[in-house]
Structure 1
Amino acid sequence: MGDLSNIFPCGRIGRRDLFKSAAGFMGCFMGGALGSMWAEDGHIPDVRIAPTLPVKAKSVIFLYMCGGVSHIDTFDPKDNKWAGKLIDATGFGDNVAEMKRPVIPILRTFTRYGKCGKLVSDWFPNIGGVADEIAFVHSMWCNEGNHFPAVIETQTGHRGRQFDHPCLGSWISYALGTANKNLPTFVNIGRPSSPVQLRRSSISDGRLHRFN
């Protein structure tokens, strides 16, 4: 067995690496602190707004897992009648990507859970145990067949490659308001390797700039 003491070499972290790692958190703090001070001085509108709608939630944690597990393998099973057929044979879309591989059948088994009778994959029996306490949204759909514009549409509700529309964080801030006096109304933590356009679409405040 290797020396496990070297897995997390915190004792040898340099000052440059420390400041580089802490820069993001300092940005979050300073952004909220300066925004609060400027609002009090009248330089920008006050971000400490009251909720515009009656709400029960106090905060939202949104985990957006682009490229995550398929919905048909988790909570939204579909008919296997198209299994083995090419995309062109299904009649769905124009197959712009010219995919030539056949449709793969669903290999999971589903069980109904709770009073709601929710179908849950055998991958998530523990989630099935609390199915009555979870809201499953099956009404969402997207016009795009490509990941890049589909992510933008999901994050902002708008199609195309324009990035000046309010993101989900701005809309939630608009609806819930904020109880903080010295912190941003929302914080986005993304992968550094993500394309800059996708990062921008997930943090853009658009016309709701005063709520960001």
Structure 2
Amino acid sequence: MLGRELARSELPRDGLGGIDGLRRVAPKANRVIFLFQSGGPSHLDLYDHKPDLAKRFGEDLPPSVRGGQRLTGFTKGQKTLPVAPSKYRFERFGESGAWVNADLLPHIGSVADEICFIKSIHSEAINHDPARMVIQTGHQLAGRPSMGSWVTYGLGNASRDLPAFMVLNSHGSCKRTPQPVSARLWGSGFLPSQHQGVKLQSTGDPVLFVSNPDGVDRATQRR
């Protein structure tokens, strides 16, 4: 981030400037639904149109693009790293002119102006598991608080009887073994455990440890 003094002295104050120049928008959201698709399609096949990839199709990837980043286990045996474009068709949609995959996402284009596309994110994680950790906790290694934990820690809970951070985990209809999605992604890390996500279940009790186990009635439990 730019230093505060630089932001004050060098950048315009028209609402698009530095930290102090941002428009103050009154918060309206009371709830957030965060849909996280682990191992979803590549951004290059959805919203990130790269026309130069088609021009350089088949060329070897320049070392400057990798920037010294190590290769994954899937590609370390390759002698070349050929450039390949997306095989799908992209079109511009809305007044913003956002590039959207017209073949796979034909209906997203109709609401392109209502979507915020963030293309400034960078990560050094090159495999699924550490990349998931980065987006959920900001760190590749386990043990850090997740986003929901930080939100509940900072803002508290509107109800003393209901959790503020809840998790729904689905494997979908995939017949193959799904990618492992563990409690590390919604854990509280070094924050108190009350800030971790409460996982809901589709079978049995919706929440674990709410009902008494088999063979234990309420009177026994109270003793």
- With structure 2 as the length reference, what TM-score do the two structures score? 0.60
Q: Which residue of the partner structure matches residue 98 of structure 2?
A: 118
**Among candidates 47, 55, 67, match of residue 75 of structure 1:** 47
**Among candidates 168, 181, 194, match of residue 160 of structure 2:** 181
Q: Indicate the RMSD between aligned Cα atoms, in angstroms.
A: 2.7
* One-letter identity of the residue aligned with 2:70: D
Contact 1:84 1:105 in 2 (8 A): no
* One-letter identity of the residue aligned with 1:58: N
Query: CA separation of 1:156/1:128 partners in 2, compared to 1, >3 Å: closer, same or farther?
Result: same
Distance 2:36 2:120 in 1: 17
Query: CA separation of 1:202/1:61 partners in 2, compared to 1, >3 Å: closer, same or farther?
Result: same
3-state SS of paired residue (1:208): coil
Which structure 2 residue ranges, 5 or more long, are not aligned? 1-25, 172-177, 197-223
Contact 1:88 1:95 in 2 (8 A): no
Q: Which residue of the partner structure matches residue 152 of structure 1?
A: 133
Which whole-Å deviations, capped at 9, do the CAs of 1:159-199 have from their partners, x for residues lacking one?
A: 3x3x221102112324554323311111123358654xx51
User: Deviation at 1:96?
Assistant: 4.2
* One-letter identity of the residue aligned with 1:208: L
Contact 1:188 1:202 in 2 (8 A): no
Which whole-Å deviations, capped at 9, do the CAs of 1:10-52 have from their partners, x for residues lacking one?
A: xxxxxxxxxxxxxxxxxxxxxxxxxxxxxxxxxxxxxxxxxxx
Matched residues, number: 156
Contact 1:84 1:102 in 2 (8 A): yes
Distance 1:82 1:174 in 2: 48
Contact 2:165 2:195 in 1 (8 A): no
Q: Which residue of the partner structure matches residue 190 of structure 2?
A: 207
Which structure 1 residue ranges, 5 or more long, are not aligned? 1-53
Distance 1:110 1:168 in 2: 32
Distance 1:149 1:105 in 2: 25
Distance 1:141 1:99 in 2: 25
Higher relative contact order (CA 8 A, sep 6+): 1
User: Deviation at 1:207?
Assistant: 3.3
* % same residue: 36
1:169 lines up with 2:148 in the alignment: yes
